[in-house]
Amino acid sequence: MFKLKFSYVLYLLLYAIPNTILSFGIVYIINNVISGKTEFLTDYMGITFVSTVIYTYLLNIIFQKKINKYSFEVLYENEKKIFDKILKAPLITLEKLGSQRFYTAIEDLRIFATFPEVVTHTINSLLMLLLCMIYLFTLSVSAALVVVALIILIAVTYFLVISTMSQKVASLRKYNEHYYKYVDDVIKGFKGFKLSTHRREKLMQDHLSPNRENAKTLDFNINYVFLSINLISQYGLYLVIGAILFLLPVIGLLKREDVISYVVILLFVSGPINNLINMQNVYTRLTVANNRIKKFLKDFDSTEIVVTLKNAAPEAFSSLRFNQIHFEYENEASEKTFALGPVNLSIEKGEMIFIIGGNGSGKSTFINILTGLYQPTGGEIIVNEAQQSTGKTSTQNLISAVFTDNHIFSNNYDEYALENNQEYLELLRIMELDKVIADDKEHSARRPFSKGQGKRMSLIFALLEDKPILVLDEWAADQDPHFRKYFYENLLPKLKQEGKTIIAVTHDDAYFKYADRILKFDYGEIVKDFQVKDEPLHTESLWHKEVQN
């Protein structure tokens, strides 16, 4: 994922070479002053020393800004790229690889926030370590020093910066909290996103992208300040050494023979070695994270062509026909574990169809094919006897659905608004939620509910989409007996009268009489297509295992 372009490699070299020369210049001055060479014990040499330190610090600041900008650009663009990959991936891919891969990829990406610091400290530490080795050999001196004044200065500076940055860090945390809500929405509401192009676009354009852009700017500024402070501690040390070399001996506070003990080990040994040792864990984590993210992007790479139609009004739909539709599940060894089909089926506008069958009979697979979440491996789906799609389902934006694992999004990604929406208020009354939700605010509708209430809210949102086909996957299973009866006897007939085409997966055989047709699935095939009004309804016989001739 993180691949340095040639221009950035060249930039690193252009930084490393002058930085090495300047650092060597600093060491060279120190060495000659310690050696007592008279030409280095002048006032202008002290000015030269301080100027070199400041120039080297500024060089590192410029480098930090460039490498920070590059790193955070890659980091935040890849966060958006991962969302886009997930939203475009087929449902079957997400089911095979697991949603946990999504969260892991996000966590791995965050590790790369340390990338600028790692690069800078690695380069500087290696250069300083090299110079340390030179002086260990040339001076043959072993000393360890702690300059109390420097420690106090660095500590005070650090805590002052921490106190001023705490509010910005808290703001960044809020951005990331909202970001992980979007992560949760994509995982738990994946099917809902797949059914609406507008919803996907609104998530990316109105919520995710602004969130990530604002967080990117804030995160960049925070890290830039912290890294600058870290450089101040490094080059502030050079200034202290300058005072030790040029000021303290002159005013008689420090003996010349003690200078080496104060300087050499402090400068050339402790810092570089500690940095390189402490970053070994970071190197490993970065390498592992990079490999995992590349594998994630490869596994979720999809060439799926999603047919995008504008949300259609009920009158825009007249019929839907399945012609020899097949679908096959495969395990990791490419072995077929379950097959749906052949499915031959016609659905007319305004029909109310109940789908029944035992566990593993193919009901859920059929629903996923119908809604376009699975792409059939064979056959064709014909919409309105004109729009034909071979191998690609074009029904997604004709259908609103409430699935068994329904999820209420944390934000409104759809075209409708809840505030001042009389239809929404009426639906709350119909669903007997007007006493539970006291106003028409978004946050009131997007809070935790009981499972039954949550499905009622999801049905309200599905109806507000105003699509011609309504798919309900065991919707009534979590309702109390009173509302289940109301749902079948009053609500579904009302929706049918309004022109909705209703396809409901159900096991409530006491209410089968309200359907127009009942489709029974068994072993991946439709074994019964029962016309309720034309044939005597014996619900018990519908559950008998019969193979259609």
Residues 360-401 pLDDT 10s: 889 999 999 998 888 888 888 888 876 454 445 567 778 999
Per-position pLDDT tens, the chain of length 549: 556 566 666 766 677 667 767 776 777 777 677 767 777 777 788 888 888 888 878 877 777 777 777 777 777 887 888 888 888 877 887 777 766 667 767 777 777 777 766 777 777 777 776 665 665 455 433 333 445 555 566 556 655 665 666 567 657 767 776 787 788 788 888 888 888 888 889 999 999 999 989 988 888 887 777 677 666 656 666 776 777 677 767 776 656 666 665 566 566 666 776 676 556 556 666 776 777 778 777 877 754 544 444 444 444 788 889 988 899 887 766 667 788 889 999 999 999 999 998 888 899 999 999 988 888 888 888 888 764 544 455 677 789 999 988 889 889 988 899 999 999 999 999 999 988 998 889 889 988 899 999 999 999 999 999 999 999 999 999 899 999 999 999 999 999 999 999 999 999 988 998 999 999 999 889 998 888 876 666 666 666 654 443
- What secondary structure letter does DSSP report for 511? G
Give 325's strand partners.
343
| Assigned CATH class of 319-543 | alpha beta
Contact 393, 450 (CB under 8 A): no
C-alpha span between 255 and 423 (Å, rounded): 88
C-alpha span between 200 and 220 (Å, rounded): 27
Contact 293, 116 (CB under 8 A): no
Of the CA atoms within 13 Å of residue 474, those in its CB half-sphere come to: 13
Domain coordinates of the chain in residue numbers? Answer: 1-139, 319-543
Contact 26, 52 (CB under 8 A): yes
Contact 506, 492 (CB under 8 A): no
State if pTM tops 0.85. Answer: no
Closest to 521 measured CA to CA, from 339, 252, 276: 339
- What secondary structure letter does DSSP report for 413? -
Residue type, 121: H
Burial bucket for residue 205 (CB in 10 Å: 0-12, 13-18, 19+): exposed
Helix then strand then coil, % of the chain, to nearest 5: 60, 10, 25
Q: 329 phi and psi, to 5 degrees?
A: -85, 140
Residues 477-534 pLDDT 10s: 989 999 999 999 999 999 999 999 999 999 998 899 899 999 999 988 999 888 887 6
